[in-house]
Amino acid sequence: MKKGIYEIRVFDSFSSAHHLRNYKGRCERVHGHNWKVELVVSGKELKNGMLIDFTILKEKLKGVLDILDHRDLNTIPFFKKRNPTSENICLYIYGKIEKALEKYPLSIKSVTVWENEKQCASYVKVR
């Protein structure tokens, strides 16, 4: 049998407001979204038949999203110098999740953020 990797994904959501700086258009005004987030992790090693318990992965993601939930994203220090775009929200979540999962033998494959059902952005770390 060929060697491969396992991949699992979890979803969660949060609501927040934001506005884009140095941008001409509707998004320069304060507005809100009900964001949907997908976290994908991968790895080769299973422990007890699992890459990581879904409950743990969901708890770690929820812990990060709780920081963003019902907040004006422009007031969060990370977004003081970066526009709170879908792309930068992915990067923020990726960094926080990477830290939260550092003791687990897996890699974060991607973080995807939907600002509505028709558009999303992803951050995928290149190895």
Distances (CA, A) of 71 to 34, 65, 112: 12, 10, 19
Q: What is the largest CA-CA distance in the chain?
A: 55
The SS3 of residue 61 is: helix
Candidate list 7, 27, 38, 87, residue with the active-site label: 27
Instruction: Look up residue 32 and give its DSSP letter.
Output: E
Residue 31 annotated in active site: no
Residue 27 annotated in active site: yes
Residue 87 annotated in active site: no
Candidate list 28, 45, 70, 98, residue with the active-site label: 70
The SS3 of residue 13 is: strand
Indicate which residues carry an active-site annotation.
Answer: 27, 70, 115
